[in-house]
Structure 1
Amino acid sequence: MVDDPQPRRGGAPAVIGLWVLTRALSMVILATAERLVVGDVFYYWRKVSALAEAGLPGTLREYPTPVVWFLSIPQLGGGSRTGYLIAFVVLMLALDAVLTYALWRGAGRRRDRAIDFWIAYVFLVGPLCYTRFDMVPAVLAGGALLAARRRPWLTGALTGLGAAIKLWPALLAGAFAARRAGRGQMLCAFVVVGFGLAALSLVTGGASRLFSPLTWQSGRGLQIESVWATPLMVARAFDPARWTVRYSTFQAYEVFGPGVSALLVVSTAATVLGLLVTVALFVRGYRNPGVTAVGLGLLVLATIAITTITNKTLSPQYLLWLGGPAAALLLSRRSEGPRWHRVLGRLAVQLLVLALLTQLTYPLLYNGLLGRAPALAVVSTVVTALRNLSLLVLTVEVCRYAWLALARDSAVEPGAVEQDPDPA
């Protein structure tokens, strides 16, 4: 991604025009080629519509309780299924627009490559972005990173809200705490919002409902798009009789057959290892009295990438989580001088390729993975494998650069990892 020597002044009409054009194209694609991605929204509608009968403890138990409250918002526009779908998509578009505006404000009310990246990234992931609520944690994480330098209390509040919605953003509190300035404010706001919503969830839904998302996640199998399912899915493309793909009780397509149990064990071990790597990065950040904006951004991005890649589940919308923080990270690139421009530009290009491969994986080539289109089986499997390999490479690179950027010597060059004097 080529960077401008200076950000372009103004540029609001161009930003608005680009956003409107790409989002309108996304809506056309949603209404034509990718209509199947609305299935989850209809599922939310059925559950929310039956909330009065099932009660909060029996509604959407796979998600944290605040998700039920959030998913009830589109229901305010009317009780029909179509009305709920329209309201849901409009709500996701609004969140998308909010982060676009925040990036524009953060760039000094100028058009910036960070804004272009966010607009392109969401477009390349596809209309799926507007039919899942993963736009929420993506926008919250991006907003938290944007606010980290001047409003640490807002960073903590947004992170706590993200944790209440999707759980994994709780790890980001550890990343944001690496910056000493405003650490107390950030952690206090995180505890008040995050634990406050947890307490409210306990009071309204009970203990069983509070912990049901964790038990649900632990019981899930090997999702076909996950990194750990890749070897079996590649083998299945050439020998479909040995492995089957079924829609499980956990509302996801999982692979069954030889090697699944072993790879589930491997994924658990990888999750533990990923957590250790994440903690090591946190410790390195804590030991640095002057964590830079780029160092903090890379730490946040590394935390999300590790969480995404080590899991036994990897739904396509999870890739959206990386987009918000990556855009905020790009916005901070000039604060470090020119040496980080090339690194962050390359990471941005890799993310855009990942976004496109994700839309190809789901929904465009998904029938090949499911075995419904034998002619597409090999192509869809290869594309998914390339996406997962690219995600693995990106994660390793982001961790490497985060480790470098968090060094005590802030003058260390991105290409000088071997000369890093601080082995901790």
Structure 2
Amino acid sequence: MSNLSASAPGTGQSRIRAGLEVVLPWLVSRAIMVLLAATIEHVATGDVNYYYGKIDALSNAGLSQTLNEYPTPVVWMLSIPYALGIGRQGGYQIAFIGLMLLLDAFFTFLLWRAAGRRRDAAVTFWLAFIFLIGPLCYLRFDLVPAVLAGVSVLLGRRRPWLTGVLTGVGAAIKLWPALLIAPFAAPRQGRRATLIGFVAAGFGLALISLITGGIQRLVSPLGWQSDRGLQIESIWATPLMVLRLVDTDRWTVTTSRYQAFEVFGPGVGLWLTISTIATVLGLIFMILLYIRGFRHPEPSITVTGLIVLSTIAIMIITNKTLSPQYLVWIGGPMAALLIGRVRDQHGRLTVISRFAVQALVLALLTHLVYPLTYFGLYGDRHGAQFVASTILLLLRNLGLLIFTIALAAAAWRATGQHRIAAAPGDDPAAG
């Protein structure tokens, strides 16, 4: 992989041109996204307003009763735009979106720099991926763990302690990134530093959370997630959402007390059970994958990245809840893996490149589902939007399922090929 401190190709005009090849597309695409957020996709700002309301009431409700569905550090993080917005709702929206834009720009810069200060496929993918998912990227905080995971892949083995720290911070914000410490700690070189960084950051933040919010607040996100029902976008709700096309009265969609649209009716209990079984089986598969990673003499960054992506994808599809912003998690690691890995030594597209194309299609389908046709899934039970939104949801979830199975298979093959070293263009998962 190219070093993050790679020198610029050429000087003067060539350097400016290389920068403009990234800056201009970023500015144009992001301006369109902000415009969409302010106009036809304004409905997606609901969560930002929800964050504001909770943070605004923090002084009265207390930390133990604020945003209990999220880990405690999220409250601190969401307080930053509140301070920048001077406590006003409009200011909060602007500050929140502005911070997400800065994070996006920062990661774009890191990709550009890691690629040798040029417009690499990694940069192109990231620009397109975020644009295709749409303004939602800036209206939720899921971009944070996505970038943390992406930077961790970018760092590779040059700064293992920082990889551990970033993974620990991600776990403190969204819980699921805790699983990523296994693939990141798989390489023997730097394993101890990675684990020390993870423990220092993750457990350090957990300790501070315990001291400031108490034990009940510390574990509240776990209870919140376990008590939820079958969210309409989840893989396991898809059969019922399709059946709802022919019998709208048997299956209804309403907002639960968890601020999510859930499906109710015959078969929900069965699919919840299947989801639980799938989650357990998915966890077992991930553990086996981690063991194979640890047994590998020296897993390459590609191998590590495939395990990371498999973990994220399996977490998404096995869960009984699936929100559109979950797809953002895939983008960071995928972009980082694309640097120098578009084609193998024979000039063929690598498996990473093929997965990247699939991820772009999933991003577009996700945007079409939410927010563009989302009303059809819960509000319009007879019109064309009802049919279109359900078909789009079916296509997205089938694509996500196929993507995950193929990704898991590639990771399994890659961890079984015990090669000591691999050239940047090598594709250990192919075959």
Alignment partner of 2:241 out of 233, 247, 258? 233
Amino acid aligned to 1:64? P
2:176 aligned partner: 168
1:402 aligned partner: 411
**Secondary structure in 1 aligned to 2:146?**
helix
TM-score calculated relative to the size of structure 2 = 0.92
1:134 aligned partner: 142
The CA deviation at 1:105 is 1.5
1:332 & 1:300 partners in 2: Cα distance? 18
Is the contact made by 2:342 and 2:350 (CA closer than 8 Å) also made in structure 1? no
1:5 aligned partner: none
Alignment partner of 2:77 out of 65, 70, 83? 70
Is residue 2:124 matched to residue 1:116? yes
Is residue 2:50 matched to residue 1:34? no
1:319 aligned partner: 327
Q: Residues 40-76 of structure 1: CA distance to partner in whole angstroms, max 9, x if unpaired? A: 0001001001100000001000000000000000011
The CA deviation at 1:337 is 3.7
User: Pairwise mapping of residues 260-275 of structure 1 onto structure 2 (< 5 A)?
Assistant: 260-275=268-283
Is residue 2:286 matched to residue 1:288? no
Is the contact made by 1:367 and 1:373 (CA closer than 8 Å) also made in structure 2? no
**Secondary structure in 2 aligned to 1:178?**
coil
1:393 aligned partner: 402
The CA deviation at 1:336 is 6.4
Q: Residues 121-172 of structure 1: CA distance to partner in whole angstroms, max 9, x if unpaired? A: 0010010000100011011010111112211111000000000000000000
User: Pairwise mapping of residues 213-232 of structure 1 onto structure 2 (< 5 A)?
Assistant: 213-232=221-240
Is the contact made by 1:155 and 1:186 (CA closer than 8 Å) also made in structure 2? yes
The CA deviation at 1:338 is 4.5
The CA deviation at 1:400 is 1.1
Structure 2: runs of 5 or more not aligned: 1-7, 10-14
Amino acid aligned to 1:31? A
1:308 & 1:409 partners in 2: Cα distance? 29
1:151 aligned partner: 159
1:38 & 1:340 partners in 2: Cα distance? 42
The CA deviation at 1:342 is 3.2
2:318 aligned partner: 310
Between the two proteins, the alignment pairs up a number of residues equal to 409
1:183 aligned partner: 191
**Secondary structure in 2 aligned to 1:118?**
helix
2:219 & 2:193 partners in 1: Cα distance? 28
The CA deviation at 1:353 is 0.3
Is the contact made by 2:228 and 2:258 (CA closer than 8 Å) also made in structure 1? yes
Is residue 2:262 matched to residue 1:276? no
1:266 & 1:373 partners in 2: Cα distance? 27
Is the contact made by 1:293 and 1:332 (CA closer than 8 Å) also made in structure 2? no
Tell me whether 353-362 or 144-153 shows the greater mean CA deviation: 144-153
TM-score calculated relative to the size of structure 1 = 0.94
The CA deviation at 1:407 is 2.2
1:164 & 1:95 partners in 2: Cα distance? 18
2:336 aligned partner: 328
RMSD across aligned C-alpha pairs, in angstroms? 1.6
**Secondary structure in 2 aligned to 1:246?**
strand
2:429 & 2:176 partners in 1: Cα distance? 28
Structure 1: runs of 5 or more not aligned: 1-7, 417-424
Structure 1 residue runs of 4 or more that deviate by more than 6 Å after TM superposition: none
2:72 & 2:358 partners in 1: Cα distance? 35
The CA deviation at 1:362 is 0.5
The CA deviation at 1:404 is 1.6
Amino acid aligned to 1:354? L
Alignment partner of 2:308 out of 297, 300, 308? 300
The CA deviation at 1:31 is 1.3
Q: Residues 151-195 of structure 1: CA distance to partner in whole angstroms, max 9, x if unpaired? A: 111100000000000000000001111111101000000000000
Is residue 2:93 matched to residue 1:97? no
The CA deviation at 1:331 is 1.3
User: Pairwise mapping of residues 196-211 of structure 1 onto structure 2 (< 5 A)?
Assistant: 196-211=204-219
1:55 aligned partner: 62
2:227 & 2:347 partners in 1: Cα distance? 45
Q: Residues 264-284 of structure 1: CA distance to partner in whole angstroms, max 9, x if unpaired? A: 000000000000111111111
1:230 & 1:25 partners in 2: Cα distance? 31
